[in-house]
Amino acid sequence: MNTTIFFWMPLFIVLYVYLAYPALLWVWGRRLKPPAYRLSSFSTISIIISAYNEERYIKRKIENALSIDYPKEAMQVIVVSDGSSDRTLEIANSFSDERLKVIEVRERKGKPNALNQGLPHATGDILVFTDANVFFERSSIQALVKPFSDASCGAVSGCVELMALEDGEPLGEGAYMKYERFMQLYESLLHTMVGIDGGMFAIRRKHVTELPTNIILDDFYMAMRAIDNDARIVYQPTAKAHEMVPASVSQEFRRKTRIAAGGFQVLKYMEFLKQPVKYSKAAFFFVSHKLLRWLSPFFLLSLLGFSIYSDGSLVIDVFFWLQFVFYGLAIIGLLIPALRNRMIVYIPYYFSAMNIACFVGFWRHLFGIQKVTWSRVER
C-alpha cells in the first residue's frame, strides 16, 4: 500500500477545513443578502443568567439587562446562583425591580442543573441566555429577537465583541472570532449556523427541554436540539454585546479544551446527523465546520509523521520543512512570550495551542474526566 495517502489525505482535509470550506461558503452565498427582519410585535422574553461567584460583574450585569431598550411588560430577568460562595446572591437580591427573579441553588452541581432550576420560572416565549460578564448594547435584544418573525427560525446567535483588558500578547481569540463569524454569516444565509455564541443567544422556549445534568456545553446542546426540531439557527450581527477579556492564550487553552470535550459529548444527542439526507445542509455544515475542525490535531499529526518518513518526494520534503519552521515558531512563542507580539510568531503559536487543546479535549471526553462544573475563565 502506498503510504503517501497518509500524507495527502490529511493535507487535503486540513486545507479544506481552514481554507477551502470558508471559500466554498463565500462562493456559494456571495449573491445572497441578509433578510430584512421586521419586528411587528414584541415577543415576551426571559433573560437567563447562570452565575457562579460573579460578584465582580453581577451588579453591572443586572443593571445592564434591566436597562435594555425593550418593553418592560414583555421582559423578565432571571439570575440563578449556582452555589456561589461570594456575594453574588447578596448583590442580586439587593435589586427591587419586579422584572427580576433571583433563584438560589444551594449545592453547586454545574450550570445545566442551575438552568434546569431556572427554566420553570421563565415566562417568556423567547429565552435569552447570557453570561454575567457580557454586556448588551441597548438595542441588542430587539435585534436578537427580530429573526423570530421568520417561523423557520428556532435560535439566534448574537455578536459578542471581545475587548482586551490589557496590553500584552495579541488577542488571538478576537481574530479567530472574525474568521468564525465569516463562516457563521454565510451558513446562516445559506441555511443554518451549526453553533451558537454562548455569551448571548436566544431560542424559542418550545425547543428547550430539561438539560442532561452532565452536559458540558449546555448552549451548544440547546442549539443542536433546535436543528433536530427542523428549526434554523440565525446569525444576527446587529445584536451586539461586549466582553472584556485578558489577551491570554493560556486561558483560551482551558476554554478550548472544555469546548472540544463538550463538542464530542454532544455528538450522541444530535439526531440530525443520523439523517444526513433529510438534513443535508446542516449535516454538511456541521461536519465541515465543527467535526473535522475538532479532529484536525489527528490529521496534523499524521501529516507531520508521514512528512518525516517520506519516500524522498520533493513535495513532501518541502512540506516537512514548512511544518518544521511553523512549529519551530510556535515553540519560540511558547518559550519567549515577548515575541508573541510578532504575527509571524503569534499565528503559529495560537494555531498550535488551539489544536493541542482540541487534542486534549478529545481524550478528556474519551476518558470522561471533563467536569460539568466550571472554573470561570476570564475571557
User: Per residue in 15-29, pLDDT tens?
Assistant: 999 999 999 999 999
- Residues 146-158: what's their mean pLDDT? 96
Domains, the chain, with CATH or none? 45-249 (3.90.550.10)
Cα–Cα nearest to 365, from 268, 248, 220, 225: 268
What would the pLDDT profile of 271-326 be if each residue is shown by its tens digit? 999 999 999 999 999 999 999 999 999 999 999 988 887 666 888 888 999 999 99
The CA angle 178-374-273, to the nearest 5 degrees, is 60
**What 8-state DSSP symbol labels residue 375?**
P
Q: What's the pLDDT at 379?
A: 45
The pLDDT score that the predictor gives to residue 375 is: 58
pLDDT level of residue 39 (50, 70, 90 thresholds): confident
pLDDT of the residue at 26: 97
pTM of the model: 0.91
Question: Rounded to whole angstroms, how far apart are CA atoms 141 and 72?
Answer: 13
Q: What is the pLDDT of residue 165?
A: 61
The predicted structure's pLDDT at residue 177: 79
CA-to-CA distance for 180 and 14, rounded, in angstroms?
A: 16
DSSP labels, 264-319: HHHGGG-GGGG-TTTTHHHHHHHIIIIIHHHTHHHHHHHHHHHHHT--S-HHHHHH
Q: Per-residue pLDDT averaged across 117-146, rounded?
A: 96
Alpha carbons 257 and 170: distance in angstroms, whole number: 20
Q: What gap in Å lies between CA 56 and CA 167, rounded to an integer?
A: 21
Phi, psi of 83 (to 5 degrees): 65, 30
Model confidence at 3: pLDDT above 50 = yes
Statement: residue 150 has pLDDT above 50: yes
Q: What's the pLDDT at 171?
A: 54
Higher pLDDT residue, 194 or 8?
A: 194
> What average pLDDT does this structure show over 200-220?
95
- Structure confidence at residue 141 (pLDDT): 96
Contacts of residue 261, Cβ cutoff 8 Å, sequence gap at least 6: 216, 361, 362, 364, 365, 370
Confidence of residue 246 (pLDDT cuts 50, 70, 90): low
Residue 376 scores a pLDDT above 80: no
Q: Any idea which residue has 425591580 for its cell?
A: 97
Residue 66 has what pLDDT?
97
Share of the chain above pLDDT 70, in %: 92
Q: What are phi and psi of 203, to 5 degrees?
A: -150, 145
- The mean per-residue pLDDT over the stretch 82-111 comes to 94
17 DSSP assignment: I
Contact 335, 350 (CB under 8 A): no
Query: What's the rounded Cα separation, in Å, for the pair 365 and 360?
Result: 9
| DSSP calls for 194-243 | S---TTEEEEEGGG--PPPTT-S-HHHHHHHHHHHTT-EEEEEEEEEEEE
Residue 334: CB partners within 8 Å, gap ≥ 6? 349
Over 70: is that where the pLDDT of 247 sits?
no
